[in-house]
Chains A and B, each alone.
Chain A
Amino acid sequence: MTPLGWIFMLTSLGCVLSLVTFCYYRVLTKPSNGERETGKE
């Protein structure tokens, strides 16, 4: 595997994992506006 191959693989995985982590962190830890207003989970 070439250095560029490592760069592409790790960058792609890093981008996707960062996005997934950010999204699920926001979804699971901060209730949405609608849920906040009703006190619903």
Chain B
Amino acid sequence: MTNGRPTEQWASRVGVILAVAGSAVGLGNFLRFPGQAAANGGGVFMIPYFLAIIFLGIPICWAEWTMGKYGGQFGFRSCPAIFGVLGRRPVWRYLGTLGLLIPVVIYMYYVLIESWCLAYAWSYLTGSIDLGSDPTRYAENSKQFFADSVGAEADGVLLNESVHSGVFFWIIVFTLNFFLIYRGISKGIETFCRWAMPAMAVCAVIVLIRVLTLGTPDPSLPDQNVINGLGFMWNPKPGANGESWLSPLSNPQVWLAAAGQVFFSLSIGFGIIINYSSYLRRKDEIVLSGLTASATNEFFEVCLGGMITIPAAFVFLGAAGAVGGTFGLGFNTLPVVFEYMYGGRVFGFLWFFMLFLAAITSSLSMLQPVIAFLEEGLGIARKASVTLLGMITGMGSFFLIYFSKNSLALDTMDFWVGTALIFVLAMVQVILYAWVFGVEKGFQFASEGADLRIPRVFKFVIRYISPTFLLVVFVMWCWQKLPERIEGMKEEGMEGAVLALGVIGAVLICFLILVHLAGTRWRAESRDTSPRDELPAFTKETP
């Protein structure tokens, strides 16, 4: 540590790319994407999807990489500090608090979902998942198994009398996360992602090969074959009344779903890419690295997620079984599919172990931004930072274990923080980068040491199109979702959801106070930037 600032760095370029990609690849790639595509026009969905990647995903990713690396040159690693450097007004530092709140709150529930994946993988490995011998009751038994595993029946059931196995897996996963994060950026996160990402790809490819070779498992149902399963996912689905196959493009819902999927999938607006890229040196390349990390995420999403889940469900369960949300498809439907599948126990293990790896590479990335802030903002050593963060996230996650009824508390955190607030942070980032820091300055800094040039058209895209795209999607999302959600909070039995909002508020207030203290400390140590502070010109000798 130099002058109280952590001096860690990535060991290799591939390492940082895999770490950022690992942060982005999660359950949404394998479970949310195929469901969204099949429900929103099939193959036609890919048109707005790819447009959203070009005009929303990749430009904002490049902006985040640039802002993070720029802030890193001043020795800062956390969103509040980096926003302060870029915006040069205290208000930006306080807005940067979102870059602490979002990863911490998402971690609280994500680590729980991660433990479900590990518990399912273990159940397949040991054969303890049993859906019975009557195929007509597989779906019902699968739902019951999931409800028992996550304590959906009532609040507190996971903690009644003896310790539930779900709590046991949560402890393992929680400890593993903090063990890896304690080892640091290079030895912990980078080393783990360097083997976890290829391992995830291998598991997914094995399951993909199995799905593509399913043929027609039940000869009495010849239509339920793998080709028709792929068709259910990829065939353009015309609207009712014999409309053209392009008709879904006139539906705003399809554009909203595509933009939302790209947005959530690429981990934009989490404050994670900014933190990760702040550990780069000035001469390190970011344009090609950012593009490669995004491309890796798309490979897992389109080439693997888009080819496995829906076709597998269609082959065994037909069109009716191949629809559902993330949890429904992943934890209710797919166990039924594996029950029908020859070798299903092995493939079930590989599938859930792959989901576990996807989840842990994401959850790891959620801890580092806050640890960096505790270190640089409050001068707390890494060991103490890790311990403090462990206590905060442990209490939040334990709250969710207790209030487990129908996962209402978890869903509330996901809605307000994992969805609404990341839109807000992404908007803040785009405005800060394009309108305060300056697109010209940002592009010039991004081009230092770059292997690729960002096309000039992206200056216009990031300044005008990306913020407009984001704003339209956010307003439409609020229009559609907020009234129903607010009404739902007034119903009986929503204590867990209301308390979850209280937890979010408490964490936000704590972080605002800490950011204020950090700002005072930086000013007292003359480490805050002033309008005169600029980086020296970039030369070949620049370290």
Contact = CB atoms under 8 A, between A and B. Distances in A.
B303 interface: yes
A34 to B, nearest CB: 4
B2 to A, nearest CB: 20
Contact of A23 (B46, B50, B236, B288): B288
B306 A12 contact: yes
A35 B280 CA distance: 12
Given A4-B245, A8-B43, A33-B449, A15 B50 contact: yes
A33 B230 contact: no
B36 interface: no
B14 A34 contact: no
Interface residues of B, number: 38
Given A16-B298, A34-B281, A34-B449, A8 B292 contact: no
B496 interface: no
Interface extent on A, as a size class? 20 to 34
Contact of A27 (B50, B284, B288, B298): B288
Interface of B (DSSP majority class): helix
A27 B295 CA distance: 12
A41 B15 CA distance: 12
Contacts of A8: 42-44, 46, 234-236
Contacts of A5: 42-43, 230-231, 234-236
Interface of A: 1-2, 4-9, 11-13, 15-17, 19-20, 23-24, 26-28, 30, 32-35, 37, 41
16 contacts: A1-B228, A1-B230, A5-B42, A5-B234, A5-B236, A8-B43, A8-B235, A15-B50, A16-B302, A23-B288, A27-B13, A32-B284, A33-B451, A34-B283, A34-B449, A35-B13
Q: Which 7 A-B pairs have the closest CB atoms?
A: A8-B43, A1-B231, A34-B283, A5-B235, A23-B292, A32-B285, A9-B234
